Structure formats: structure tokens, C-alpha cells
Copies of this chain bind each other. A is one copy, B any other.
Amino acid sequence: MKGTILSIAPDANIIDITNEVPAQDVMGAAHILAGVVPFFPVGTVHLVVVDPGVGTDRRGIALSINGQHFVGPDNGLFSLLVNRRQPDRIVELDCEQFWLTQAPSSTFHGRDIFAPVAAHLATGRSLDDVGSRIDDLSTMHWALPITDRQGIQGWVVHVDAFGNCITNISRETFEAIRERRAFKCYAGNAILDRMANTYAQAQPGDDLMLFNSEDALELAINRGNASEMLDIRKGTSVNIVFLDDRQTDGDV
């Protein structure tokens, strides 16, 4: 993919966000993408290829949000992004003259379609040059947790390299429902009830919950691997129950 990009856009500054997304993990990639986008400058072209359906009839798309471009398969990768902010424009990639070849490989559209389209966008082409307008894209229901006044049911969307377990529960959702009540959070083999601002507020080896640097609820163990120690994996459900009879003054 990098070779394809440099062949079209020799001056492109190519940045690897990560090459460590587990195979087929659309949900994890969607999470990582949504987390990093706010920190990139206007004009960035994000090339996102986690593509279990490559070679099927799933569409290839490009979209723009807030001056940044995104290119990849239409399989839900952009679900979290578009939940936060409506795209300004979406196109289906149907202009073959911007592909590497009119006969793309059936197993590697990243190299043959998405990378060349991204490179052309980087050199100044517009979305309308590379595809035809469409109105919507695929989104995934896992993007949002289930909530009522008693509690929140979410799940783990990503386990990072430290074993920290990031959920799909945002600080905003949590605070709106909590209303300063005490709570219990059931996940894996643990019941967590402590909120912290930072890992080091817990003793080494103790579990904690915090809102991470993207304001997503995270389950962690100070200087330990929460995923292994609490038996929590990507997809594990996280159930938070609020306790009506116990008010808290706010733990953090």
C-alpha cells in the first residue's frame, strides 16, 4: 500500500497509526480510528483497511468529515466516527481510472483500490472525482450501549497493549445516567466499584475504572493486565448497575 501511494503521491507524508489491529477486527479498528481523528490536522487522508469482506460486493467508499478524508470498505469501520459527526459527503468508489488497475486483486483492495484513491485525494483530487455520491453508509449496532435509568449495558471494544479494556460507554452517557449514585460494574470475573482519574490512584495490582484519553470508560489494573487478570476480552459485556439507595459524593 505504501508503494502504491508513493508511486502516485511521491511527497505524501505517510504515518502508520497502527498495524496491530487483530485480523478481521472491524470493531477494534473503528474504535482506534475514532480515537485518533480529532488530533490530526485538516487535510489528512485516513486510509483504513480492515476488510474481511474483500472480494464480495461490499462497497468501497470515501467520505469527508470536518476537512479530513477517509477511504476504506463500507463495513462499519466508520460507525463511531459518523455517530459523533455527520459526514459532509460520502461517495462510492466507482471511478476505476483512479485505481491501480481495472482488474483489482480479489484479496487486496487496500493496495489496488483504497491506497491509490487515498493517494489521489492527497494530491488534491476531490471526492467527486473518485466516486459517485451516496447518502449513507453501513453502521454497526455495537457502536452504542443499551441504557435505562437503572443501568448501562455496554461491551469491550478494544483491549490495548497494556491489557486495559476500553468499552463503548462514553463519559457523557455514564454521567448523564448516573446522577451521582454509587454503582457496581460487572465484567469478566470482577465487580468494580471504584472510579479513578489515573492508574496510579489504585494500588499496584488493584482494579479501577477511569475515563481514558478519548473519554471512553476503561477497566484497568494499575501496573497489571486487566484483560488477563479479570478474564475480559474484546466483546465481553460490561454491565453497570446504579444503586438508588446509596448516594456518593463523587469519587473523583
Decide yes or no whether A125 CB sits under 8 A from chain B: no
Determine how close the nearest CB of chain B comes to the CB of A107; give it in whole angstroms: 5
Partner of A107, one of B23, B55, B213: B213
Decide yes or no whether A53 CB sits under 8 A from chain B: yes
Report the Cα distance A16→B108, complex, angstroms. 19
CB-nearest residue of chain B to A22: B161
Q: Contacting chain B: which of A82-90, A148-156, A192-200?
A: A192-200
Contacts of A163 in B (CB 8 A): 23
CB-nearest residue of chain B to A53: B200
- Contact A2-B14, Cβ < 8 Å, known A23-B161, A213-B112: no
Whether the pair B107, A7 counts as a contact (CB closer than 8 A) is no
Report the Cα distance A53→B15, complex, angstroms. 28
Whether the pair A107, B10 counts as a contact (CB closer than 8 A) is no
Contacts of A39 in B (CB 8 A): 3-4, 7, 100, 111
Contacts of A201 in B (CB 8 A): 55
- Contact A106-B197, Cβ < 8 Å, known A6-B40, A39-B111, A111-B213: yes
Report the Cα distance A13→B161, complex, angstroms. 25
| Chain A residues numbered 5-57 whose CB sits less than 8 Å from any CB in chain B | 6-7, 10, 13-17, 23-24, 36-41, 44, 52-56
Decide yes or no whether A102 CB sits under 8 A from chain B: no
Write out, one digit per residue, whether chain A residues 153-165 have a CB within 8 A of any chain B CB (1) or not (0): 0000000011100
- Contact A199-B55, Cβ < 8 Å, known A3-B40, A7-B40, A212-B108: yes
Whether the pair A199, B107 counts as a contact (CB closer than 8 A) is yes
Whether the pair B2, A6 counts as a contact (CB closer than 8 A) is no
Residues of A within 8 A of B (CB): 2-4, 6-7, 10, 13-17, 23-24, 36-41, 44, 52-56, 100, 105-108, 111-112, 161-163, 197-201, 210, 212-213, 223, 225
